[in-house]
Chains A and B, each alone.
Chain A
Amino acid sequence: MPAALPHPELVAAIPRLRRYARVLTGEPSRADDLVQDTLARAWEKRELWRAGSDLRAWLFTIMHNVFVNQRALARRDARNVSLDGDESGGESWQLSVRATQYARVELMEMMQQVGRLPSEQREVLLLAAVEELRYEEIAEVLAIPIGTVMSRLSRARDKLRRMVDEPPSALKVIK
């Protein structure tokens, strides 16, 4: 039986969807397009949502799929340009923290360090540490086994630790 999605919960989820979209795309302008596509897809797929289950985790799943599909299309279009480097993900990931009261120097550095993580590790880290999804939910969102969730999380955190210990000098010259 088709059901309507709960509108207040959908609206309440938007700020977190926008945040994760920025993490995924690395670009605020593309991020809102991704959120919009995700909401449209959620309405199309509303019959797949089990009422009472966590709407947010379901929306993250949709967003991840939309993003992966769009990226695959974009890559096919650009395959003559570059085939390598996509797993490192860091090059295109340039989230800028605008000059606001919360853009402290350490945060800028941390943002850059997170940007240098491979995208698949960054996604798991953000879903666990910031979106605070359960590991099982993360496995569902990303369609990977839970063991992979744990190993990616572990690698992401240990890489960040090492970066803090020895920040590469190249980072310092980025404004």
Chain B
Amino acid sequence: MNALPISDADLHAYVDGRLARERLAAVEEALARDAALAQRVADYRAQNAGLHDMLDPWLNEAIPSRLLAAATQPANVRSRRWWPALAAAASLVVGVALGWFARDVLLERGGTPTTFARQAVFAHVIYAADARRPVEVQASEAQSLVNWLTKRVGQPAHAPDLSSMGFQLVGGRLVAGNEKPAALLMYENADRQRLTLQWRKLPPGNEETAFRYAVENGVGVFYWIDDDCAYAIVGRVDRGQLLAAARVVYGQLAEPKK
């Protein structure tokens, strides 16, 4: 195969997790071949991590009240004309939220995987916020982690590799499900954003589904059913990034390693 040569822009996009999927294989192949190129990428990554170490602590500083005040709509730009539109928008939001909620309740009674998607969001919110002990088994014991989850969940598994998107495996844990436990793997990027991949064995006879998306309080979830197993990938990242992660996971699970 005659791929395009690797450009400077490819390398930067790779480091920043912005590389188009179709270029990924070519870049990784070039990195495997060329040690100097790989060193450059490693150095760029170290720069990114260093910049985050340096500048992220600023994000936790208390916001001065004058800035909070400046974020509030100033009196001189307030206008009565907007209220009808605002009220309409608000009622639409409430309506959609109620509809979504009612749908969830109905679907939960029916025992469909929506239950799982919501549970996956809850599990993500609980464990991803845990700075010290987000997982029970660390990624350093990846093989025993995978064996353990496979045994407990009853579905053969391996930990997908999300490093192409800048996410590294942190580890995993079991989480409570309706009848059976679900497995949770957590990933983290240099910005300390976390993604969780969760899956649960379903009773036989489920139809495979396409990716479905839901968002709850800013936490997005893509979920799907494949091979009598429900999968969810959850994170407080934008929809596009989450979808890209879901595709990577789906692609890797479809071709089990070894």
Contact = CB atoms under 8 A, between A and B. Distances in A.
Same complex: yes
Contacts of B47: 110, 129, 157, 160-161
Interface residues of B, number: 40
Contacts, number: 107
Contact of A4 (B9, B50, B82, B191): B82
Interface stretch (A11-19, A72-80, A85-93, A166-174): A11-19
B67 interface: yes
B18 to A, nearest CB: 6
Contacts of A150: 8-9, 12
Give the residue among A35, A100, A129, A130 with the most B Cβ atoms within 10 A: A129
A153 B14 CA distance: 13
Interface stretch (B56-64, B128-136, B137-145, B150-158): B56-64
Contact of B13 (A18, A132, A135): A135
Interface in B103-158: none
B52 interface: yes
Nearest to A157: B44
B45 to A, nearest CB: 10
A132 B53 CA distance: 14
B16 A4 contact: no
A161 B67 contact: no
A39 B50 contact: no
What does DSSP make chain B's interface, helix, strand, loop or mixed?
A: helix
What does DSSP make chain A's interface, helix, strand, loop or mixed?
A: helix
A22 B16 contact: no
Contacts of A5: 73
Contacts of B50: 106-107, 110
B252 interface: no
Nearest to A165: B43
A40 B67 CA distance: 10
A126 B59 CA distance: 14
B67 A2 contact: no
A164 to B, nearest CB: 8
A44 interface: yes
A15 B79 contact: no
Contacts of A125: 51
